[in-house]
Amino acid sequence: QVQLVESGGGLVQAGGPLRLSCAAPGPTFSRSTMAWFPKAPGKEREFVASISWSGGTTYYEDSVKGRFTISRDNAKNTVYLQMNSLKPEDTAVYYCAADRVDNSDYRYWGQGTQVTVSS
């Protein structure tokens, strides 16, 4: 069973930063597109950022452009999401995903890490 492990979530005040990490189980994922999907209470899981296996191509949802940065370290099998200028509406469980099927579907998912932004 492939398992991605997210970490770095927590409680932060609005305007503050937080960095999430997603550890993949092995070097196989160094060749996979990876992404982050937050799921807010009462809402569907939504795409916010993805990164190609080389790190050369990234995509962001419009509401996080300029605030969030996705990056990866393939030597450590880890993907990061640096979140700055956080807003209360960023509050969600953030899921890491690997091996893209289409824009909203990936083959492998983590258990999620809670991010809470207080106003």
CA-closest candidate to residue 38, choices 71, 85, 6: 6
pLDDT at 104: 86
- The dihedrals phi and psi of 39, each to the nearest 5 degrees, come to -125, 110
Phi, then psi, of 21 in degrees rounded to 5: -125, 150
pLDDT in tens, 85-100: 999 999 999 999 999 9
Predicted confidence at residue 2, as pLDDT, reads 67
* Dihedral sign, Cα of residue 62, residue 83, residue 15, residue 92: positive
